[in-house]
Structure 1
Amino acid sequence: MSATAEPETSAPEIPSAIDLREEFESSGVKDVLAELDRDLIGLAPVKKRIRETAALLLVERARKRMGLAHETPTLHMSFTGNPGTGKTTVALRMADLLHRLGYIRKGHLVSVTRDDLVGQYIGHTAPKTKEILKKAMGGVLFIDEAYYLYRPENERDYGQEAIEILLQVMENQRDDLVVILAGYSQRMERFFESNPGFRSRIAHHIDFPDYTDEELLEIARKMLDHQNYHLDQPATAALTQYIARRREQPHFANARSIRNALDRARLRQANRLFETSKGPLDATALSTISAEDITASRVFGIKTRSEAAHP
């Protein structure tokens, strides 16, 4: 019996031209960027960098399909800025973007800190770090406050072991994992100076600016609307004052501080309604934050720097 010849498989046809605008829409990148614009207030320079990165990746994908010289671009990133400026949210959108463009297999985000990677005793760090990396493969590993991995003042610290494992994986498996390091700008700069291996592996440095007072008020309205609450006019004025005063207090964390303030305002509103209501309450009463729910904050009892300077 003669062996049946296997049919020849033809190589995929190489396109002579690619419409980048069509690729932008069909890949879903347009949807991700639109969602970023819709969900995140402000952050214009961050959004600009994300759009530029998306354009680069679309062009690289087109070049690959056309058989041009191609190498997977380095996609590891550094997000710097103060707390509450949207770094984790943007990392989630970036994971979605990279997945839609085919640069990572799964598109999930694994968010960790030093405690998730560094062990407490000899032999503990390597398995912890490798387990996290295993979870993150095919997606994005987001390391918040990454500079805490490096503690040169402590001779018995095991952070350096985690750093060495991370650097090796970032170099050798960059086709299957994107690492985003995040933290305060100055501390991250010192971290890169002490660990040049990280700087050489990171191509994209994105700085997240603080929100303006107007942007924080808009963020507050968006947060309340999401929970079916709203501010009456005096409460809007009170919250505007609160934001300006809170910015001058210690541990201000942008949108995170606003979210915490609104949680406390809702607590005060609930207590006010419980103590003062004398009958059934309609939806408007149950959903309205009043000025007194804002001005009861201790922030209004603390002098700002300008008030202290001009008593």
Structure 2
Amino acid sequence: MPEPYTYTKNSQINIIFNQKKENSVPMPFPIDEKISHAPLEKLEFRLKKLVGMKDIKQMVKELYAWLYVCRKREELYLKAERQSLHMLFKGNPGTGKTTVARLLSHLLAEMGVLTKGHLVEVERADLVGEYIGQTAQKTRDLVKKALGGVLFIDEAYALARGGEKDFGKEAIDTLVKQMEDHHDEFVLILAGYSEEMDDFLSINPGLPSRFPMILSFPDFTGSELLGIALQMVKERDYVLTTEAEKRLSRHLRQKALNQEMHFSNGRYVRNLVEKMIRQQAVRLVRESAFDRDALRTIRTCDLVLEEDYKPSVISGEVTGH
């Protein structure tokens, strides 16, 4: 058996390919169809919109190239590797896991690997029932819904929590069975915090081998968080003043340096942008300023940040200033 291929770069991503070779195994897509690189062009267009995630982007391109070359080898009657595409995503919230899952579902559909390419996003509550037999049925129904696409389970480690009477393990067992029964008909992606996902895999010795692709999503840097914020502001047709952008940049760089456990990354930035837009609206109503420039401009006073709050010396209560 060949050794697993491990791709590591900057300790940010670890992709493990457990390769299985079979003689003359048909690929899960037609080989007599004329192949173009249109899927790659669409892929690169989508990847350019994503801030950061350099290594994740590289992996997605490598996946495309591998699938393409496998098809070309089949056309020339060469041996081609057949590998499960089920994946495991590890990282904090807001690091792009759901976005990449959706991007992959589109790519695999455009290459003919998946018949539909839709994304079904679920969590523990969608899978686990309240009485015996309900969990297995709920899980099978969701897999059926995901056939032809991607089943994305966020915070998948939650399935392993609970006591002996908990039905989370039943959901896991059902998923494993469905992966066997519907081989190549859908892609299962389990996502969650890095340490918790490692613990989750350890509960069943057979789980790691069923997920040959393990992707680690690092937290965004301060400059990347700022890039995400500016992109969101632009998409909403707003602009930041120079001073507002400088203040926002200082705040996000400090958040990145703090390395808070389970920091919500992109979600934090989105909430921050939405809050500053609401603050700008309050200011505009107060000032009765509704010309085009006023409606588009976010000023420094519209940024209400964590450091704007401090304990009151008199009462000990937290107050803003």
Q: Select 1:127's aligned residue among 123, 137, 143.
A: 137
| 79-88 or 167-176, larger mean C-alpha shift | 167-176
The answer to whether residue 117 in structure 2 is matched with residue 107 in structure 1 is yes
Provide the secondary structure at the position in 1 that maps to 2:191: strand
| 214-223 or 239-248, larger mean C-alpha shift | 239-248
Cα gap change, 1:250 to 1:177, in 2 (>3 Å): closer
C-alpha distance in 2 between matches for 1:175 and 1:51 = 20
Q: Tell me the amino acid that sits aligned with residue 137 of structure 1.
A: L
Structure 2 stretches lacking a partner, 5+ long:
1-30, 312-321
Tell whether the 8 Å contact from 1:72 to 1:175 is kept in structure 2 after alignment: no
Q: Select 2:37's aligned residue among 16, 20, 25.
A: 25
CA positional deviation for 1:30: 2.5
Q: Tell me the amino acid that sits aligned with residue 25 of structure 1.
A: H
Tell whether the 8 Å contact from 2:93 to 2:262 is kept in structure 1 after alignment: no
C-alpha distance in 2 between matches for 1:299 and 1:68 = 62
Aligned to 1:196: 205
Tell whether the 8 Å contact from 2:84 to 2:210 is kept in structure 1 after alignment: yes
Identity among equivalent positions (%) equals 43
| 117-126 or 131-140, larger mean C-alpha shift | 117-126
- Bigger share in helix: 1
CA positional deviation for 1:289: 0.7
Aligned to 2:309: 301
Tell whether the 8 Å contact from 2:153 to 2:190 is kept in structure 1 after alignment: yes
Q: Tell me the amino acid that sits aligned with residue 155 of structure 1.
A: E
Aligned residues: 277
Provide the secondary structure at the position in 2 that maps to 1:196: coil
CA positional deviation for 1:67: 2.7
Structure 1 stretches of 4+ moved >4 Å:
none
Q: Select 1:149's aligned residue among 131, 155, 159.
A: 159
Aligned to 2:28: none
Structure 1 stretches lacking a partner, 5+ long:
1-17, 304-311
Aligned to 2:193: 184
Q: Tell me the amino acid that sits aligned with residue 309 of structure 2.
A: G
CA positional deviation for 1:123: 2.0
Aligned to 1:45: 55
Q: Select 2:263's aligned residue among 241, 252, 256.
A: 252
Q: CA RMSD in A?
A: 1.9
Q: Select 1:273's aligned residue among 284, 299, 318.
A: 284
C-alpha distance in 2 between matches for 1:241 and 1:46 = 27
Cα gap change, 1:268 to 1:168, in 2 (>3 Å): same
State the TM-score, normalizing by the size of structure 2: 0.81
